[in-house]
């Protein structure tokens, strides 16, 4: 179901983009280190 312009703007006003980016980076790093530790063992 697609959202119209008003709904998108209302949703985006509540978002914390900085926190979302930090969470995404931490997730990527966690996967990287998990895979690296599996390969090295």
Q: Is residue 35 part of a domain?
A: yes
Q: Is residue 1 part of a domain?
A: no
Q: What is the pLDDT of residue 37?
A: 76
18 within 8 A of 26, measured Cβ to Cβ: no
Q: What is the pLDDT of residue 2?
A: 82
Q: What is the pLDDT of residue 10?
A: 93
Q: What is the pLDDT of residue 39?
A: 72
Tell me the residue range of the domain where 24 lies.
Answer: 15-40
- Note the pTM of the prediction, 2 decimals: 0.57
Q: Which residue has the tokens 């980076």?
A: 25
What are the pLDDT digits (tens) for 1-41? 688 999 999 999 999 999 999 999 999 999 988 887 777 66
Q: Residues 6 or more apart from 20 whose CB is under 8 A from it? A: none
Q: Is residue 7 part of a domain?
A: no
Q: What is the pLDDT of residue 29?
A: 92
H or E stretch at 9: helix 5-13
């Amino acid at each position: 179901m697609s959202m119209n312009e008003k709904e998108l703007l209302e949703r985006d006003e509540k978002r914390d983009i900085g926190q979302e980016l930090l969470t995404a980076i931490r997730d990527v790093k966690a996967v990287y280190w998990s895979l690296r530790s599996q390969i090295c063992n």
